[in-house]
Amino acid sequence: MNKFFSTVLILFAATVGVNAQQQNNNLHQCLTDFYYERAIAANPEYKIEMDRMNEQIKAMANAHFKTTGTVYIIPVVFHVFHQNGKENISRDQILDQIRILNEDFRKIAGTPGGSSTNPLAVDTEIEFRLANIDPNGNCFDGINRVFDTNGLGNNADDQIKSLVSTLWRGGKYFNVYVVSNIKDTDNNPNTTILGYAQFPNAGSTITRGVVIRSDYIGTIGTSSKVKGGRVLTHEVGHCFGLYHPFQGGCFGGDQVDDTPPVSGANSGACTPSKNSCNNDSPDLPDMLENYMDYTDGGCQNIFTIGQKNRMNSMISTYYPNLVSPSNLTATGVQNYTIPAATNAPPVTQDFEASTANNFSLSNGWSIENLTGNAYGWRVTDSAKFNGNKSIYIPSYGHPTSLTRSTYNIYSPPLNLSLMPSAYFNFTVSAAQRITTLSDSLRVFVSTDCGKSWTALFKAGANVISNNGVVATSVFVPTSKSQWKTFSLDLANFRTSNVRIRVEFFYYRGNNLYLDDLNISSNLATGIQQSELVSGVSLYPNPATQSAQVNFTMPNKQSVQVELTNMMGQQFGTLDLGELAQGEHSFTTNQLHQGALPEGVYLVKILAGGRQHVLKLIISR
């Protein structure tokens, strides 16, 4: 609704209309207005600038300054603040949120965001993509995970942004700060704030972006389903200059001509024909389905023509660098190809250059201790295979509450494309605490900058340790006979940008030590490469629905199986666990439930870092 907006905004959470759900939970959607009010209290010139900006943007929007068909692409980074709880949401949940943003802002047909039949509903021509390049020019998956040592994300306000380097906040990226909980400005412990944003001219460039609860990201994983992933849609609207349609009530204004006036925030499901204001002409019902109101996600499905023009004008005025062609290339969201790594093997990590009890590594290797450093990987001089140091996990001292926690070591990006052969070699020493519980060590490989990982190796402490060592006290290896060396074949991963991830999976075991990690063209000295499975057969082939695979294990190893089509599309995986020496079998319907479409498939058996591939034909 177009009314001159001159009154100082009040904390809208005090005026939000409540439905039965909100009466029970005191659920308030956002604090954007509060942070705007605080900004103009600290700097009254923001209010003058806002009034000037509204007049300028109105003129630009009315002039339809941008050519239809020109899409603004927004490079996005999610900063996930966590203490290794459920707030450390998955990449899949974040990708689900990106999907929803694009369905809503692009009005994609066949999706909830494209479902509106209102003639005012429009494709805003704003599109969101996860950044592929970090501020230092390295390839990146668009997610910056920050271990929240002091728990600021448990009661977050704008201070949470200061935990992220200004390299991220200089205008190259649209930043989404994902937290466990948001501070209620009234200090009411029964109030739930879902998110808030910064208007484009109400504060510094380095504080722009959205702060949002982790359980309102997307619609899968830990997400609350009631808002349908549209809390972020709403907050991004604020970042691009949209007000609430109920701003100032019936006689206020959201600076948009084609949104009817609304007396107060609507919530819950859509109520047909609700009309809270009668001062507009023609007298139109509340636009309950507008993303900038507070109705549930299943109700919302519209940005109007006026809102589109306002957002596009705001982006042109306040975010010109963000959407510039040079920045889209710099952030890897346009014309992007995975860069070739500059590191070429041999590449080693023997931990000799690191300080004991330290958590940083040399030569581009890095540690990720998701539960904090107290229980994660650390360099030690109390045990080694060669030299004076190794790295270890103090698993014996882990509290049981951290069962199933993971800890990672990452190699630098590696260029293996010119190598005739490549192996990842490492030496490990481990022990079980009791025979019924066993931690495990896993190795993964990525060829797309860490966006996806392929399992290469998995073994429990009972397999890793020589002779199945069980130690009921803290385990520290005292001789080379307590170490075992592995060589994993990287023949299938010889591309120009490869990373190795070594993952420790805690399951209430004993300490585990690693030494002499290296990637080279040679097997580790004195070690024979793991034998391939033998005696492999698949029948019937062709098959009408399912086939049986028989094979023989030359020794005790972990085995995984993958089923893909000839284009690489995955149809299923199967973890057979640690198999003893001898004959084994499985059926392909264990990988894929139901009938496979007719075609040619590949059954890949992974064991000991090597892969055996069978061709399966489905024909009826």
Tokens standing for residue 376: 């994660």
Please tell me the number of Cα atoms within 13 Å of 596 on its side-chain side: 28
Phi and psi angles of residue 107, each rounded to the nearest 5 degrees, phi first: 50, 55
Measured CA to CA, the distance from residue 11 to residue 31 in angstroms comes to 7
Residues 224, 229, 231, 236, CA torsion sign: positive
Longest dimension (CA), the chain: 88
Do residues 441 and 391 lie in contact, with contact meaning Cβ atoms separated by under 8 Å? no
Measured CA to CA, the distance from residue 146 to residue 490 in angstroms comes to 31
DSSP string, 463-510: HHSTT--B-SS-----SGGG-EEEEEE-GGG-SSSBEEEEEEE-SS--
Measured CA to CA, the distance from residue 499 to residue 448 in angstroms comes to 9
State the amino acid at position 111 in one-letter form. Answer: T
According to DSSP, the β-strands at 294-295 and 267-268 are parallel
As beta bridge partners, residue 513 has 392, 429
Do residues 123 and 116 lie in contact, with contact meaning Cβ atoms separated by under 8 Å? no
For residue 56, give the 3-state DSSP assignment: helix
Measured CA to CA, the distance from residue 261 to residue 251 in angstroms comes to 8
121: Cβ contacts below 8 Å, ≥ 6 apart? 107, 301, 302, 303, 304
Measured CA to CA, the distance from residue 618 to residue 601 in angstroms comes to 8
Phi and psi angles of residue 362, each rounded to the nearest 5 degrees, phi first: -95, 170
For residue 324, give the 3-state DSSP assignment: coil
Tokens standing for residue 222: 């830990």
The vertex-87 CA angle with 81 and 91, nearest 5°, equals: 85
Candidates 87, 235, 289, 503; catalytic one: 235
Alpha helices (H) along 81-220: 91-106
Tokens standing for residue 44: 């009254």
CB count within 10 Å of CB 194 equals 22
Tokens standing for residue 355: 């300080």
Asked about 352 being catalytic, the answer comes back as no
Tokens standing for residue 581: 């020496």
Tokens 């009668």 belong to 278
DSSP string, 194-244: EEEE--TTSS-GGG-SEEEEGGGSSSSTT--STTTTHHHHHHHHHHTTPPP
Tokens 């585990």 belong to 512
Kindly provide the residue ranges of all beta strands, DSSP E only, lying in 57-173, ordered along the sequence: 72-82, 126-130, 143-147
Residues serving a catalytic function are 235
